[in-house]
């Protein structure tokens, strides 16, 4: 195992250095980059579903279900980026988020449930139901942004 | 459905505007932000596993398995960010990546398989096997970075 460990160590060092984060404990700005990355990836998927819902793109039930599934996979990853030590780091989060972490965690749970429901509904292929649950999911996003994100 | 659609449209508009991407078709710089976001999130998880493998953090098989599972969920999301129209956008990707898309897609497939294997192995809880597969997975990352990412 010693050689394996050594080799792995070198590879990891190269990787983490390149990715710009410390392996042992993330820096506050890395927490910001992590959560913004996950949220942007969610937005990427939500945006494409939104284009279908709004009629800016043709409705494709299979693609919609794929995007919903990805959103459901991403949503449980968000919370971890709001580490306590990232409260002061430059970001769009309002500081009161950390003063109301119980509420924020509840909202993240609600988001998980909403995105999971969207993925489940999308499996069914009913366009009306998908659009309805999409609207409800987006409301969860929006309410939390209104409360805890600076106006952009 | 008309009212639902209208309401959803407004909510989506607010969300996409805030997230900074166009709903109908992503701009090249959004493709970059998307893929960098997913890759950073992967690095976040890989970094924490790496700290355990290197001995910078105590080895926690359950947490390792959780991180491996997340990495396996993220890896299939990367490729979509390398849209053809993002070739010229400012990023760390070398332009030859787009000239060798078949090779790049193969590497992405290999990454998917390696991260999935890591998640599966991690379910088994064998520390040695987990560290070995982690090392092999990180090599897949590194080789692709060496080939297609600018030196950082």
Render pLDDT for A12-51 as a digit per residue (tens, 0 to 9): 544 543 344 444 678 999 999 999 999 999 999 999 999 9
Nearest chain A CA: its distance from B101 CA (Å): 22
- Cα Rg for chain A, rounded, in angstroms? 18
Of B108, B104, B137, the closest CA to residue B120 belongs to B137
- Percentage, residues of chain A above pLDDT 70: 84
pLDDT value for B104: 98
Q: Please give the pLDDT value at position B100.
A: 98
- Residue A16 is nearest to which of B5, B9, B47, comparing CB atoms? B47
As for the ipTM of the complex, it is: 0.87
Looking up tokens 């309401």, which residue turns up?
B7
Tokens 């600018």 sit on residue:
B150
Spatial separation of the C-alpha atoms in residues B50 and A150, rounded to whole Å: 34
> For residue B111, which of B52, B64, B46 has the smallest C-alpha distance?
B46
Q: What is the pTM assigned to this prediction?
A: 0.87
Given a cut of 50, whether residue B90 has pLDDT beyond it is yes
Confirm if B81 and A40 have CB atoms less than 8 A apart.
no
Contact A131 B7 (CB under 8 A): no
The answer to whether A44 contacts B21, with C-beta atoms less than 8 Å apart, is yes
**If you average pLDDT over residues B41-60, what whole number do you get?**
96
Nearest to A40 among B1, B8, B33 (CB): B33
Q: B149 in helix, strand or coil?
A: strand
Question: What whole-number percentage of chain B has pLDDT above 70?
Answer: 84
Is the pLDDT at B13 greater than 50? The verdict is no
How close A108 gets to chain B, by Cα (Å)? 16
Closest residue by Cα to residue B25 from A57, A116, A23, A18 = A57
Asked whether the beta carbons of residue A34 and residue B41 sit closer than 8 angstroms, the reply is yes
A57, A104 in Cβ contact below 8 A?
no
Q: Is the Cβ pair B135, A8 closer than 8 Å?
A: yes
Residues 6+ apart with CB under 8 A from B141: A11, A15, B46, B111
Least confident of A91-105, B16-30, B80-94: B16-30
- Assess contact for B89 and B29: CB atoms under 8 A: yes
Please answer yes or no on whether B23 and A47 come within 8 Å at the CB atom. Answer: yes
Nearest by CB: A138 against B15, B26, B132: B15
């Amino acid at each position: 195992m010693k050689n394996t460990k050594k080799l792995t160590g070198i590879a990891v060092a190269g990787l983490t250095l390149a990715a710009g984060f410390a392996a042992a404990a993330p820096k506050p700005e890395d927490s910001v980059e992590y959560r913004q990355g996950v949220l942007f990836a969610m937005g990427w998927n939500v945006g494409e579903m939104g284009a279908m819902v709004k009629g800016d793109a043709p409705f494709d039930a299979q693609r919609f279900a794929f995007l919903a599934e990805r959103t459901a996979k991403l949503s449980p990853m968000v919370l971890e980026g709001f580490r306590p030590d990232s409260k002061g780091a430059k970001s769009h989060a309002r500081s009161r988020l950390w003063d109301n972490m119980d509420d924020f965690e509840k909202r993240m749970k609600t988001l998980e449930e909403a995105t999971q429901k969207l993925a489940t509904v999308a499996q069914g292929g009913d366009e009306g139901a998908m659009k309805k649950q999409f609207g409800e999911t987006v409301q969860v996003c929006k309410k939390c942004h209104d409360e805890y994100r600076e106006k952009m």
